[in-house]
């Protein structure tokens, strides 16, 4: 079974999920290739001698004309998914069955989305009648669930407040983090860093800015 473990959305023309098999001495009568998505949803089906069919989850992506091989018994064993979207993230299982035998294999694929916006800004703020600063870091359009950390070199390694994560209607996540600090607690040159990550795909990117208290 050959499935890419990580695929970037909006950056990939197509992926091929392949389930190669060898019937060897097994009679091919009743040959059916089925792909399942997240346990029991049929994503693709090919009955030998017929055209392949797409399931609901893959219908808008799958190329039903794609041939994995010239062998008539394995021609339509694979799924070619064009411009894969985040909704294709999940566990895939292919089941090869004949009247005489059945084989299966499983693997997972994550279709991830990196940010389309990432900002780190600060503004002066009075805190308990003292001069201070409010630092805001935000990012939009990520998948799977992201993380966000504001740090200040030599002062704040990791803020206490958890970021606010919002799940959008399109399935992507927005994330926002905010922290407030007194000028007197900061060095003359405060190097502010915001680290954005998607832990599931080992993706990290950062923004830096300099704040001068006073």
Task: Please give the pLDDT value at position 31.
Answer: 95
**What's the pLDDT score for residue 178?**
94
Read off the pLDDT of residues 135-166 as tens digits, 9 standing for 90 and up: 999 999 999 999 999 999 888 766 667 999 99
Let me know whether 80 and 163 are in one domain: no
Domain boundary among 56, 77, 112: 112
* 50 lies in the same domain as 14: yes
Give me the pLDDT at residue 161, please. Answer: 77
Confidence of residue 24 (pLDDT cuts 50, 70, 90): confident
Measured distance CA(52)–CA(154) in Å, rounded: 60
pLDDT at 22: 84
Both 31 and 98 in one domain: the answer is: yes
Q: Which of these three, 112, 133, 153, is where a domain ends?
A: 112
Span 27-76, pLDDT tens digits:
788 999 999 999 999 999 999 999 999 999 999 999 999 999 999 999 99
Which residues face 198 on adjacent strands?
203
206 pLDDT higher than 70 = yes
For residue 26, the model assigns a pLDDT of 73
Q: 99 and 21 in one domain?
A: yes
Of 48, 49, 22, nearest to 34 by C-alpha is 48
Residues 23 and 100 in one domain: yes
Residue 200, SS3 per DSSP:
helix
How many domains does the chain contain in total? 2
DSSP three-state, residue 88: helix
pLDDT at 159: 66
Contact of 37 with 107, CB cutoff 8 Å: no
Mean of all residue pLDDT scores within the chain: 94
Distance separating alpha carbons of residues 62 and 157, to the nearest angstrom: 46
DSSP, res 143 = B
Phi and psi at 119, nearest 5°, equal -125, 140
Structural domain boundaries, residue 70: 6-112
Pull the structure tokens for residue 183.
């000028």
What's the pLDDT at 2?
Answer: 95
Query: Residue 1 falls within a domain, yes or no?
Result: no
Residues 10 and 107 in one domain: yes
Instruction: Indicate which CATH number applies to the domain containing 175.
Output: 2.60.40.10
Token output for 98: 């004949």
* Residue-level pLDDT at 149: 94
Dump pLDDT digits (tens) for 3-14. 999 999 999 999
Q: Of 104 and 160, which is predicted with more confidence?
A: 104
Give me 210's structure tokens: 């300099």
């Amino acid at each position: 079974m050959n499935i890419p473990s990580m695929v970037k959305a909006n950056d990939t023309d197509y992926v091929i999920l392949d389930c190669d098999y060898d019937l060897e001495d097994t009679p091919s009568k009743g040959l059916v290739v089925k792909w399942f998505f997240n346990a029991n949803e049929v994503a693709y089906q090919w009955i030998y001698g017929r055209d392949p069919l797409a399931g609901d989850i893959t219908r808008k992506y799958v190329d039903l004309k794609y041939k994995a091989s010239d062998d008539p018994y394995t021609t339509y064993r694979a799924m070619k998914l064009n411009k894969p979207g985040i909704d294709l993230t999940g566990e895939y299982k292919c089941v090869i069955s004949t009247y005489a035998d059945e084989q299966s294999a499983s693997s997972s694929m994550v279709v991830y989305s990196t940010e389309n916006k990432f900002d780190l800004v600060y503004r002066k703020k009075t805190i308990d009648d003292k001069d201070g600063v409010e630092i805001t870091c935000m990012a939009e359009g990520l998948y799977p669930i992201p993380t966000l950390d504001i740090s200040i070199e030599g002062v704040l390694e990791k803020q206490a407040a958890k970021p606010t994560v919002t799940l959008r209607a399109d399935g992507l996540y927005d994330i926002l983090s905010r922290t407030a600090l007194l000028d007197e607690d900061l060095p003359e040159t405060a190097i502010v860093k915001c680290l954005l990550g998607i832990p599931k795909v080992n993706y990290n990117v950062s923004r830096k800015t300099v704040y001068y208290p006073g």
